[in-house]
Every structure is written in structure tokens, then in C-alpha cells.
């Protein structure tokens, strides 16, 4: 996660404007969006989840 905070653009866009960081040694990923110069975490999900359904309708903080 430290690398995502330091250089979030190195992570590929998975869908829409949501990016993914895979966690080493775990079958989980962190999904996030960029808000200006901030990283907004949307979900921590197991690799087997249907992420399109999970993230659809997520609202960003104001």
C-alpha cells in the first residue's frame, strides 16, 4: 500500500477510474480511486469476489 500512496499512477485501471493494488502473500486486493492528490480506498476484496458488482454505486466522500 505504501507504493500506491507514493506513486498511484503505476497501478493499472481495472474499470472506470478504479485502480488495483494486489497485496503480497494474500489473495486480496485493494481497489482505489484518485481524488486530486489523495488516494480514496473503495474496497479490500478477496480475489474471488465479483468486483464489478461490489464497486458499482460506490460514492466518493465529499
10-residue mean pLDDT profile of the chain (62 residues): values are 75 86 83 87 74 62 55
- pLDDT attached to residue 2: 67
Spell out the domain ranges in the chain.
Answer: 2-55
Helical H runs in the chain?
2-6, 51-55
- pLDDT attached to residue 9: 84
Cell of 13: 485501471
Identify each DSSP E strand in 6-46 by its residue range: 13-15, 18-22, 28-35, 38-46
Dmax (CA) for the chain in angstroms is 34
28: three-class secondary structure by DSSP: strand
| Residue among 26, 27, 20 nearest 52 (CA) | 20
- pLDDT attached to residue 16: 82
Amino acid at each position: 500500500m505504501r507504493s500506491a500512496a507514493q506513486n498511484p499512477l503505476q497501478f493499472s485501471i481495472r474499470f472506470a477510474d478504479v485502480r488495483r493494488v494486489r497485496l503480497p502473500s494474500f489473495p486480496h486486493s485493494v481497489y482505489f480511486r484518485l481524488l486530486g492528490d489523495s488516494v480514496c480506498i473503495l474496497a479490500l476484496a478477496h480475489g474471488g469476489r465479483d468486483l464489478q458488482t461490489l464497486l458499482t454505486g460506490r460514492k466518493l466522500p465529499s
